[in-house]
Amino acid sequence: MKGFRDFLNQGNVVQLAVAFVIGGAFGGMVTALVANIINPIIAIPFGKPNFDKLVLTVNASNIQYGTFLTAVLAFLFIAAGVYFFFVMPYNRLQARARSAAPAESDTRACPECLTVIPKAAHRCSACTAVVEPQAA
């Protein structure tokens, strides 16, 4: 029982659970966006909010390409909505944060092997080359 409790208390399990709950809520929000905003916009030029009733009959077999077309369009609209409403603003915020004054690093590259080493190091831990320490 202790091992199971430790497993549940690990950070990545809790993060996964939170991500799952938020993903479900986000899925509901995107579904509402598509059903209540995107589909009525599709209905303006085409007269129908979806294409589920489009069927091609060949040798008494019904090929329901309309259902597939509706699913493809819903996917494209959902992907576009996620990109434009979440990914783009997040990337802009991250770019703004990166462009802010960068913090000075306390590491440097080894002049011999380019491994990252502390500035105060006297010897590289990867290639064992003697290096001059730098002020941190």
Question: What is the pLDDT, as a whole number, of residue 11?
Answer: 65
**Is the per-residue pLDDT at 67 higher than 80?**
yes
| Tokens read off for 41 | 């916009």
What's the pLDDT score for residue 95? Answer: 87
pLDDT at 51 over 80: no
CA distances from 77 to 33, 53, 101 (A): 9, 20, 37
What is the C-alpha to C-alpha distance for residues 113 and 127, in angstroms, rounded to an integer?
A: 7
107 with 116: CB under 8 angstroms?
Answer: yes
Question: What is the pLDDT confidence band of residue 116, given thresholds at 50, 70 and 90?
Answer: very high
* Spatial distance between the Cα atoms of 7 and 18, rounded to a whole number of angstroms: 16
Q: How is the chain split into domains, by residue range?
A: 2-102, 105-136
Q: What is the largest CA-CA distance in the chain?
A: 83
**CATH number corresponding to 2-102:** 1.10.1200.120
46 has pLDDT over 70: no
Give 56's strand partners. Answer: 63
| pLDDT at residue 17 is higher than 70 | yes
Q: Which of 19, 27, 20 is nearest to 75 (CA)?
A: 27
**pLDDT at 6 (0 to 100):** 76
